[in-house]
Structure 1
Amino acid sequence: MKLNFSIIIPVYNRPKEIDELLESLTKQNFADDFEILIIEDGSDNSSEEIVKKYVNKLDIKYFFKDNSGAGASRNFGMLHASGNYFIILDSDVLVPPQYLSEVKIALDKNDTDAFGGPDASHESFTDLQKAINYSMTSVLTTGGIRGKKKSVGKFQPRSFNLGLSKKAFEKTKGFADMKVGEDIDLTFRLWKNGFETQLIEKAFVYHKRRSTLQQFFKQTFAFGTARPLLNSKYPETAKLTYWFPSLFLVGIDISILLVILGHWQLIAFYGGYFALIFLDSLFHNKSLKVAFLSILTTFTQFLGYGLGFLQSIFISKNN
C-alpha cells in the first residue's frame, strides 16, 4: 500500500516556532505529496497569519479549536487528515531535509504501524538548549531510551516525533485524556492490540525543548509524576530503573550527611559521575560552556523527575 503522509502539529501560543518548523518543511527532499495540519489549541497568540505565509508552498490546513491539551489536539488532527499514515511533531522542532525520505525508506523496509525518531541539537540552539538536549538524550543520563538504538529494547516512541498508521489510530482511538505520559500510554495500548513499533534512527528532528531551567524542571517533574500512574495502569511494564532518579537524589542527601560525619566516599562517586557528564558533553558538543551547563541540566533533570516520581507515589498510596 502506498504511504500517504499527513503531518499533525498541535500548537499553543508558539507562532514563531511554527514559522521555523514550516520553513524547514518547505525544504524536504521528498518526491511524494504530503499534507500538514496545524491544530491551534485555543491559543491567545494565534499562528494563523504565519500559516497563511505557506499556503502556496505547502499543502497545509489550519484548524482552531478550544483548548483541550496536546493529546486531544493530535486526535483532532488525525480525524481530519486525509493520509493513511500520520506523523506527529511538536511545534518546537525543526525537520532536516531528509526526514520524510528516511521515514519512507524505513517503513518500506520494515512496515510497522508506529515509529519514533530521535532528536538532536541544532547549531542555532542556545548553549542551554544544547545542554538540555544532551541531558535528555545521553546514554549516561537516560540510558538511551529516547533514541540510542544500541541501548534500547522494545522502543517507546515519544510524541515530539512519532508516526502512527490510520489503522492503528482507529483501533486505539489515539491519545488518552492525559496531560503527560500520553505517548507512552499510547505505545502500551498499541502493543496490547498487536501493533509493532520501531525506532527510525535516521528520522531525527532538532528539538528546541524548554529555554529556561525552570521550564525544564517543570517538564521533567511532570514526566516523573506520570510514570507511577503508568506503572499502576500497566503493571507489567514497571521497571526498577524508573526509581533511579529518586534514588539518585536520596543518595545525594545521604552523601552530604556522610561528609558531615567525615566520610567522603559517596560524594566522591557523585563527583566522578558529574565529571564524566562534563567530559562526555564536551566530547559531543565541543564547548566548555555547554559541558558545564550539562552538569546543571542533568542535576535539574534528576531533581525534577525524582521529586515528581516520589510525589506521585506518595499521593497514590494515600488515595
Structure 2
Amino acid sequence: MFFSIIIPLYNRPQEIDELLATLAIQTYPQFEVLVIEDGSSLRAKDIVEGYADKLDIRYYYKENAGQGFARNYGFERAKGDYFVIFDSDCLIPHDYLEIVKDYLYDHDLDAYGGPDAAHESFTPLQKAISYGMTSVFTTGGIRGNKKHAGQFHPRSFNMGVSREVWEKVGGFKITRLGEDIEYSIRIHQSGFKIGLIPGAKVFHKRRTSLIQFYRQIHFFGRARINIYKHFPAELKLVHFFPAVFTLGIMLVLVLNIFYPPLAYISNVFLLVYFMLIFFHSLILNHSLKVAFLSIISSFIQLTAYGLGFIQDFLKRIVLKQQ
C-alpha cells in the first residue's frame, strides 16, 4: 500500500518543519508527501525542499482558496492508493503509517479518522486546550477517544480516504465551515465504509493562545449550522448542548446580580462541574497548572462553540439570512 500524505499550509513555516521531521522517521516507508502552500505570504518552500534527501516530497504554491480546496489540489496530483490528510500543526508518531496500513488490511475501510492527543513537549496551555477538545466533560470524548455513537465523521486534521473514494465522490465541496464533516457525509451516502482507527493517533497543537482558541471554536459552532444547511438531518440534539450551557451561564450571571438566592444551586452545580474538570485533568496530565488551565479551556470550548452556534442559528435558520 502506497500513501500520499497531503498537507495544506498557510503562513506556518515553523509548523511544517516540525511535522516533516516526524514524517522523516516513519517506520513504514511507502509514502510520498505533498505540501500545498495556499497563498501564504510566509512561504515554506526552502524548508520543504530541505527534506528532499529524507522524504519523497513535492512542494506546490497556489493562490489562496482555503484548506479544503488546497487538499483537492493535492488529491489531483497524488500517486497513492490512499490519501492521508494532516493539519500542519500536528506531530505524527513514528509508527503511524505502520498502524494505519495494518488496520486497513484487516478492516478494509474506504475512509478513516484517528484521535488526537497532547505531546509531552507541548506547553501547559496547549495541553489544556487539547484537554478541552477531547475531554468527556466537554466534547463527550467522541473525538477519537472512544468509538463514535452513530455515524463516524473523520476530522481533517487526521483523516484518510482511498483513491476510489476520490474518484467516485470527488473532493471537498466547501473549503471551510465544516468541510470535513460535509465530505464525510457524502462518503457515507455513497456507500463507502468509514471507521475510526483508534491507534492512528496524532499530536495536535491546535492553538497557542486562548484568544486564537476562542476564535477557532466559535468558528466550529458556526460550522455546525453550515452543515445543517447542507444536510438538515445531521443536526442532532447533542449539538445544542454548548448553546444551552452558554445560555445557562448568562442566566446564572443575571441571577447573581439581581436574585442571588436563586443562583445558589446553579453556582454549586458549576463549582462541582469545574472541580471535576480540574481533578480529571490533573489525573491525566499530572500538572496543577494544566489542570487549572483546563478549566479555562473547557469553559471557552463550550461557550465559544455555543455563541457561534447561536449566532448562525438565529441568522441562518430563524432569520433565514444567507
Q: Which residue of 1 aligns with 2:310?
A: 310
Aligned-partner Cα distance in 1 for 2:132–2:148: 15
1:186 aligns with 2:180: no
Question: Contact 2:177/2:224 (CA < 8 Å) preserved in 1?
Answer: no
Question: Paired residue for 1:170?
Answer: 167
1:114-166 deviation per Cα after TM superposition (whole angstroms, max 9, x unaligned): 00011110111111000000000111110122102245333210000000011
Assess if the C-alpha contact under 8 Å between 2:4 and 2:34 holds in 1: yes
1:84 maps to 81
Tell me by how many angstroms 1:27 deviates: 1.0
Superposed, 1:7-46 pairs within 5 Å as 7-30=5-28, 32-46=29-43
Q: Is the 8 A contact 1:40 1:62 kept in 2?
A: yes
Aligned length: 316
Give 1:97 shift.
0.6
Q: Which residue of 2 aligns with 1:301?
A: 301
2: CA distance, partners of 1:232 / 1:120: 31
Please state if 1:235 is matched with 2:225.
Answer: no
Question: Which residue of 125, 128, 133 corresponds with 1:128?
Answer: 125
**Cα distance between partner residues in 2 of 1:269 and 1:169:** 48
2:276 maps to amino acid: L
**Residues in 2 aligned to 1:105 and 1:163: alpha-carbon distance in whole angstroms:** 14
Equivalent positions of 1:141-156 (< 5 A) are 141-150=138-147, 152-156=149-153
1:217 corresponds to: 214
Aligned residue identity for 2:13: P
Equivalent position SS for 1:141: coil
Tell me the alpha carbon deviations over residues 235-272 of structure 1, each in whole angstroms, 9 at most, x when there is no partner: 22221110111100111122233334212011211111
Superposed displacement of residue 234, structure 1: 1.1
| TM-score normalised over the length of structure 2 | 0.96
Checking the alignment, whether the CA contact within 8 Å between 1:121 and 1:133 is kept in structure 2 is yes
Check conservation: 1:145, 1:155, Cα contact below 8 A. no
- Counterpart position of 2:265: 265
- In 1, distance between residues paired with 2:100 and 2:275? 37
3-state SS, counterpart of residue 101 of structure 1: helix
- 1:45 maps to a residue whose letter is L
CA RMSD of aligned residues (A): 1.1
1:75 counterpart SS class: helix
- Judged with a 3 Å threshold, the aligned counterparts in structure 2 of structure 1 residues 66 and 163 are, in CA distance, closer, same or farther, namely same
Answer with 186-195 or 257-266: which moved more. Answer: 257-266
The verdict on how the C-alpha distance between 1:67 and 1:236 changes in structure 2, with shifts beyond 3 A counting, is same
| Counterpart position of 1:93 | 90
For 1:301 and 1:23, how far apart are their aligned partners in 2? 30
Aligned residue in 2 for 1:5:
3
Measured against aligned partners, the alpha-carbon deviations of 1:177-230 in whole angstroms (never above 9, x if no partner) come to 232200000011011110111111111001011101110011001000011121
Match of 2:108 among 111, 115, 125: 111
Query: 1:100: Cα distance to partner?
Result: 0.3
SS at match of 1:139: coil
Counterpart CA distance in 1 for 2:158 and 2:115 is: 7
Unaligned runs of 5+ in 1: none
* Alignment partner, residue 70 of structure 2: 73
Question: Which of 192, 202, 207 pairs up with 1:205?
Answer: 202
| Aligned mates of 1:107, 1:152 — CA distance in 2 | 21
User: After alignment, is 226-235 or 305-314 more displaced?
Assistant: 226-235
TM (norm. structure 1) is: 0.97
In the other structure, the counterpart of 1:159 is 156
Q: Distance in 1 between matches of 2:147 and 2:48?
A: 39
- State the identity %: 50
**More off after superposition, 202-211 vs 245-254:** 245-254
CA distance in structure 2 between the aligned counterparts of 1:279 and 1:132, rounded to whole angstroms? 16
The whole-number CA distance in structure 1 between the counterparts of 2:275 and 2:150 is 28
Whole-Å separation in 2 of the counterparts to 1:282 and 1:154:
32
SS in 1 for 2:58: strand
239, 245, 251: which one aligns with 1:248: 245
